[in-house]
Amino acid sequence: MSGWIFFAESATQAISGFRNVSEQNGISISIVGMLLVFIVLSLITALLTALPHVVEKLNEIYPPSQEHHAPVQTSANDEEDAVLAAIGFVLHTQMARTRD
Amino acid sequence: MDLSLVWQNTGIANLIPENVVMMMIGIIFIALAIIKDYEPLLLVPIGFGIIVGNIPPIEDMALGYSDPGSVLSYIYFGVKQGVFPPLIFLGIGAMTDFSTLLSNPKLVMLGAAAQIGIFLTLIGALYLGFTQSEAGAIGIIGGADGPTAIFLAAKLAPHYLGPIAIAAYSYMALVPVIQPPIMKLLTSRDERLIRMKAPREVSKREKVFFPVITFLVCALIAPGALVLIGMLCLGNLLKESGVTERLANTARNALIDIVTILLGFSVGTSTQAQYFLTSQSLKIFGLGALSFAVATAGGVIFAKALNLFLKEKINPLVGAAGVSAVPDSARVVQMVGQQEDPHNYLLMHAMAPNVAGVIGSAVAAGVLWSVIK
């Protein structure tokens, strides 16, 4: 008998718990909430998937090199000079170490 | 002079055992931060705030965070009114590189899937007898985002802000402990060995468009997320535009550091023993642990489900990074992946759902605030 009472009490508590979930619209809030999160992030995913193609079209009309803050174009000669300077620096430091 | 009156106005005379327990907790937080390097930027201010907040109040002296006119109340204003979390998001936006997300947009969905932890925890909280507002505030712990949790708790359940914030930050620090067993349980060895293609190069223009697009989509569908997502996107735009480097630098360094100190400290001071050491707080901690576990499982399972439709498979471990504890959960993915194959570098792939999870949890908070308020 006492076992039945315990079970009945437990069942009442369990019903109360689920009753609170139901009365407070827990399931519907959760479903709507998850749906909205998925809708927002799905939309962002779709737009980001299309973004590279949009940027490619934009680059044809307005190339990045024409931007006000576009990086300065260096000529091939400038880069070659920089490489030669770097090689010279490394050689110099290596020779200095050998002398020491 | 009445010496008994002097004695009555001391902290020692008004100290209760619960205050001592809370101070010990504060000391443990500080010790974990310094000795174990567990989220020190948060646990040191929070831990010290707990100690400060549990000095017993003295009658007729405005000392505590809830005493009008006290210094702590002015600092706590930023928490109570939801000012600090958006400022933190400004700094987060200014320091986050969304390139990996832009190079593989489908990984954003893993960030969405991980938010199931929020909503299942909400149901769990209702089951335990909390009200709708309280359950919403408790559920957001599953978003694994401290500022978002504080923001929503301040709106929906300010009386539980202390335990919710402590639970959120504590479990964020414990991500390397909570996540790996769940990740290994839900994945096979073959799945953990999946190597993913290196992310593509992302142009500057894509990085500039991203915050504008993201903000418009989020704010127009879930306006409750306006301020959090708005500040996140503003910070990112400051970073990526290339013309506001000074502002971006301030946002990701000085500003975020200042706000972190004030936020952590004031949250700590709000954990007064008589309101914190209750059975409800214990339930919140239990639900918090559950929320992290469910969020991890949700991300991993969704990644496995996606693989049924994809030719280029995703390593399902990456789904666990949808739990937006940036960058800890991404690091955990890297670590678990390298346990199977030391040459499998998953970190950059995991960063995509990791940062998507930040957006997802902010959107979830906005939705909960609009629906529940």
Concatenated DSSP letters for A73-94? PPPHHHHHHHHHHHHHHHHHHH
For the cut 90, the answer to whether the pLDDT of residue A72 exceeds it is: no
ipTM for this prediction: 0.88
pTM of the model: 0.84
Q: Give the CA count within 13 Å in the CB-facing half-sphere of B272.
A: 16
CB B361 within 8 A of CB B145: yes
Any chain A CB within 8 A of the CB of B75? no
CB B353 within 8 A of CB B104: no
Of B112, B123, B214, the CB nearest to A21: B123
Q: Is B190 among the domain residues?
A: yes
Q: What is the pLDDT of residue A69?
A: 63
Q: Is B189 among the domain residues?
A: yes
A-chain residues within 8 Å CB-CB of B108? 41, 44-45, 48
Structural tokens at position B301: 């399972």
B227-266 core/surface letters (b: 16 or more CB in 10 A; e: else): bbbbbbbbbbbbbbbeebeebbebbbeebbeebbbbbbbb
pLDDT digits (tens, 9 = 90+) for B307-343: 999 999 999 999 999 998 888 899 999 999 999 999 9
Q: What is the pLDDT of residue A68?
A: 64
Q: What is the pLDDT of residue A6?
A: 38
Q: Is B11 among the domain residues?
A: no
Supply the range of the domain harboring residue B90.
Answer: 82-372
Give the confidence band of A9 by pLDDT, cuts at 50, 70, 90: very low
Q: What span, in angstroms and rounded, lies between the C-alpha atoms of B7 and A15?
A: 52
* List of residues 6+ apart from B322 with CB closer than 8 A: B110, B111, B112, B113, B114, B115, B295, B298, B299, B302, B329, B353, B354, B356, B357, B360
**Distances A27 to A30, B48, B144, B185 between C-alpha atoms, Å:** 5, 39, 21, 27
For the cut 60, the answer to whether the pLDDT of residue A7 exceeds it is: no
Quote the minimal CA–CA distance from A55 to chain B in Å. Answer: 7
Q: By CB neighbour count within 10 A (0-12 exposed, 13-18 middle, 19+ buried), where does A12 fall?
A: exposed
Q: What is the pLDDT of residue B250?
A: 97
B-chain residues within 8 Å CB-CB of A49? 105-106
Q: What is the pLDDT of residue A84?
A: 86
Residues 116-145 of B with CB under 8 A from A: 116, 118-120, 122-123, 126-129, 131-132, 135-136
Mean pLDDT score, B106-115: 95
Any chain A CB within 8 A of the CB of B280? no
Nearest chain B residue to A70, by CA: B242
Task: Pick the more confident residue, B364 or A84.
Answer: B364
Q: What is the pLDDT of residue A73?
A: 57
Any chain A CB within 8 A of the CB of B364? yes
Q: Is B62 among the domain residues?
A: no
For the cut 90, the answer to whether the pLDDT of residue B1 exceeds it is: no
Residues 343-362 of B with CB under 8 A from A: 356, 359-360
B-chain residues within 8 Å CB-CB of A32? 367, 371
Task: Pick the more confident residue, B23 or B12.
Answer: B23
Phi, psi of B34 (to 5 degrees): -80, -45
Q: Is B33 among the domain residues?
A: no
pLDDT digits (tens, 9 = 90+) for A38-63: 999 999 999 999 999 999 999 999 88
* Number of domains making up chain B: 1
pLDDT digits (tens, 9 = 90+) for B225-234: 999 999 999 9
Residues 202-231 of B with CB under 8 A from A: 203-206, 209-210, 213-214, 217-218, 221-222
Q: What is the pLDDT of residue B169?
A: 87
Q: Is B55 among the domain residues?
A: no
Q: Is B14 among the domain residues?
A: no
Q: How many Cβ atoms are within 10 Å of B26's Cβ, its own excluded?
A: 22
Give the confidence band of A70 by pLDDT, cuts at 50, 70, 90: low
Mean pLDDT score, B172-177: 87
Q: What is the pLDDT of residue A28?
A: 94
Q: What is the pLDDT of residue A62?
A: 86
> Among B64-68, B165-169, B356-360, which range has the highest average pLDDT?
B356-360
**Considering only A14-28, A35-49, A66-80, which range has the smallest mean pLDDT?**
A66-80
Give the confidence band of B147 by pLDDT, cuts at 50, 70, 90: very high
Nearest chain A residue to B209, by CA: A51
CB B85 within 8 A of CB B78: no
Q: Is B7 among the domain residues?
A: no
Contact A42 B132 (CB under 8 A): no
